[in-house]
Chains A and B, each alone.
Chain A
Amino acid sequence: MSKSLNIALLGNPNTGKTSLFNSLTGLSQKVGNYPGVTVEKKEGVCKLDRKTKGYFIDLPGTYSINSSSIDESIVVELLLNKNNKEYPDLALVIADVENLKRNLLLFTQVKDLGIPTILVINMADQMKRKGISLDIPILEQTLETKIALVSTRENTGLDELKKLILNYRIISNKPLVQINSIDKKYFENLENAFPGQLLYKLWLIITQDANFGAIQRTLISDISKFQTKSKSEIKRLQQKETIKRYQFINSVLKKGLQIDKASATDFRSKLDRVLIHKFWGYLIFFSILMIIFQSIFSWSEVPMDFIDNCFNYLSSVTSNNLPSGVFTDLLSQGIIPGLGGIVIFIPQIAFLFLFLSILEETGYMSRVVFLMDRGLRRFGLSGKSIIPLISGTACAIPAIMSTRNIESWKERLITILVTPFTTCSARLPVYAILIALVIPDGYFLGFSYKGLMLMFLYLIGFLMALGIAWILTTTLSIHSKSYFVIELPNYKIPLIKNVALTVWEKTKSFVEGAGKIILAISILLWILASYGPGENFNQAENIIQKKYPELAEKEIELKTNSFKLENSYVGVLGRSIEPIITPLGYDWKIGIAIITSFAAREVFVGTLATIYSVQNDDNDTIKNKMASDIRKDGKLLFNLASGTSLMIFYAFAMQCMSTLAVVKKETNSWKWPLGQLFFMTILAYFISFLTYQILS
């Protein structure tokens, strides 16, 4: 018979819970060097020995079990509800060896809940460098538990940990701190009112903010009758509890922990002084951004051209070698160019994720949060909002989910509403192709115009987010408190493995996710572009021949193709919306691309690629076909004015169904996502209109 154990991974933020979870279960959940990476419960299985399976639950980091934000309340709910099928048989509290004192607060609380608790001291690899030494037997004795000293980075101590887990029954589950000593009388009453219940658990339920959901309702409703103390009294008792716990922890650490300051290097505080400096900090931050945008453009030029040519070649091989017919056309004009429109951006996307994950892993991101906090507060955001705003450069969806660690509902809502303005990786393909088409070559102070334009687009997205946040703060009348505790994590050399994994996973999910949608949309588009209603479509050749009898055969063919396309189903649809978008400088083809890219922004390029190959199937790259398209008034379709206006449109418009769905999920109402959709679209329309009118 095989057994199974539920094991909860608890601990302060950024102590390496997810790293341990990944090492044990072989999964690859996101790890990052800043607090608040994990915001949801994640599960994984690990075989502990031949007969026992461990079900590990990775949880968001918490400083204590008195929760104040949604991600923390997930932890409390799990620990208080014995009927939950995930209720842990034992808990691992993961502590970071450099911050033991703060970490032990949570440990004593969890242990006092009567759950067998093992203390896992992580980052053992740092001990030598920081001059830390631990007396494990003494600590085990005073904390009445078993301790595993591990390093997930060097993979040490994991086997010992597994052994401790298997023998978890020998761990005492007596409380460490006598909770009734903070107010004898009150707890006596409580004990008499609920005989047989664990005192500390009752106390926790009383102190839990009732807003936070579904903790065993029956218990709570009984307890709320037992309100013999006012709210402020209870707060005072809670503080007393914390002080008691710290007294206990201090006495433990006095015996078991030694730090030799002399052998610790003080590199970190020196670096911090520069990186969060009011002037140098910003300067460094902007220089880093600048370098990133420059390299996204210049490094990926060669691989992108290569990919573009490959797809062309593939198209022509397909159409030349397969038996001719409509399906062959679908392949060579619809599917292959459509997919090419996404694959071509792999180099740029990979570079973007490479830089992002290096910034995260080194610990620099938290310095940016710290740096920005003061400034952001003025706009009604908290320092913690910067993490969604920055990770929104990858994708707005995880970014919006990561707002869960913002305690104040108002700040959280505002962050959710403005995060879609951050330039996400799906906008990058749109910008990249348009910049290549309409922004001239040339340099300003050593920076190429193209790189500068890209940086400008990222900046206006960010500034718009701030501006809207400011407006929302002053207009929304929601009152809620805000706190700010951010700790600066230690600097770490990024693990190449972690970075490579992130880049690989993210790029893969970008291509897979967008790829499937683009494949489907290319197929439908090709069909709609190759068939059409009525005389104009079916008689296209005759009509053109009559109209231009003097033209050569090749010319006639080109004209016929354009005429056919304009009268195909997409053409008819596109031309019906053309009046709305003409003032912005777009034609019906761009209109169709805007509509299809509502499924995902990067579909834009694939859509144009498909439409253009139906119109003109000679072997030219998408970019060249787009560059030579001429409008009715004789100007190039993609010129500085229309191209810039289009980029501005993509910078501000919502254009993403998945984001809407997530906002609905996180705010629990359709009111916010719909409002966001209308507002952003109108805003985008307006600013693009102005841009086009001014530039043309």
Chain B
Amino acid sequence: MDWIQGFLVFLSGICALLFLFRKFFFKSKLANKKGCDHNCDCH
């Protein structure tokens, strides 16, 4: 059981890192394309 829990923690950590990385480094390229809502750049 222990290794499953450890693995899940590891997985969440990787996902979180990837998410933040994408959000703050690649965001500017993604954002402009779609006609997004007034508040979309906030956060």
Contact = CB atoms under 8 A, between A and B. Distances in A.
Interface of A: 28-30, 42-44, 323, 325-328, 330, 394-395, 397-398, 505-506, 509-510, 513-514, 516-517, 519-521, 523-524, 527, 599-600, 657-658, 661-662, 665
Given A325-B5, A327-B6, A398-B39, 20 more contacts: A42-B35, A44-B35, A325-B6, A327-B9, A330-B8, A330-B9, A397-B39, A397-B41, A398-B38, A398-B41, A509-B40, A509-B43, A514-B43, A516-B19, A516-B23, A519-B16, A520-B15, A520-B16, A523-B13, A661-B41
A121 to B, nearest CB: 27
19 contacts: A325-B2, A326-B9, A330-B8, A394-B39, A398-B41, A505-B37, A513-B43, A517-B20, A517-B23, A519-B16, A521-B16, A521-B20, A523-B15, A527-B9, A657-B24, A658-B42, A658-B43, A661-B28, A662-B41
Nearest to A602: B43
Identify whether the interface residues of A are mostly helix, strand, loop, or mixed.
Answer: helix
Nearest to A29: B38
B13 A527 contact: yes
Task: Choose among A395, A523, A527 the residue with the greatest number of B CB atoms under 10 Å from its CB.
Answer: A523
Contacts of B24: 599, 657
A49 to B, nearest CB: 24
A524 B13 contact: yes
Contacts of A599: 20, 24
Contacts of B19: 516, 520
List 9 A-B pairs, minimum CB-CB distance, nearest first: A513-B43, A325-B5, A520-B16, A327-B5, A523-B16, A327-B8, A395-B42, A30-B38, A509-B39
A520 B8 CA distance: 14
A319 B15 CA distance: 23
Contacts of B35: 42-44
Nearest to A43: B35
Contacts of A330: 8-9, 12
A517 B42 CA distance: 12
Contacts of A395: 39, 42
B22 to A, nearest CB: 10
A43 B27 CA distance: 21
A43 B34 CA distance: 10
B6 to A, nearest CB: 6
A398 B42 contact: yes
Contacts of A43: 35
Which of B1, B13, B16, B23 has its CB near the most chain A CB atoms (within 10 A)?
Answer: B16
A490 B2 CA distance: 67
Contacts of A658: 41-43
A302 B39 CA distance: 28
B39 to A, nearest CB: 5
A397 B20 CA distance: 19
Contacts of A506: 39
Interface residues of B, number: 26
Nearest to B11: A327
A524 B16 contact: yes
Given A327-B8, A516-B19, A527-B9, A600 B43 contact: yes
Interface of B: 1-2, 4-6, 8-9, 12-13, 15-17, 19-20, 23-24, 27-28, 35, 37-43
Contacts of A600: 43
A397 B39 CA distance: 8
B24 to A, nearest CB: 6
A74 to B, nearest CB: 14
Contacts of B13: 523-524, 527
A325 to B, nearest CB: 3
A42 B35 CA distance: 6
A521 B17 CA distance: 8
A517 B37 contact: no
Contacts of B17: 520, 524
A658 B23 CA distance: 10
Contacts of B12: 327, 330, 523
Contacts of A509: 37, 39-40, 42-43
Contacts of B16: 519-521, 523-524
B23 to A, nearest CB: 7
A506 B20 CA distance: 22
A477 to B, nearest CB: 31
A184 B30 CA distance: 51
Contacts of A662: 41
Contact of A517 (B2, B9, B43): B43
A420 B39 CA distance: 16
Nearest to A398: B38
B35 to A, nearest CB: 5
A600 B24 CA distance: 11
Contacts of A398: 38-39, 41-42
A517 B21 CA distance: 11
B36 to A, nearest CB: 9
A509 B41 CA distance: 10
Contact of B5 (A28, A326, A397): A326
Contacts of B2: 325-326
Contacts of B8: 327, 330
A397 B9 contact: no
Contacts of B4: 325, 327
A504 B6 CA distance: 38
Contacts of B37: 28-29, 505, 509
A614 to B, nearest CB: 13
A292 B1 CA distance: 53
Nearest to A425: B42
Contacts of B15: 520, 523
B42 A513 contact: yes
Contacts of B41: 397-398, 658, 661-662
B6 A326 contact: yes
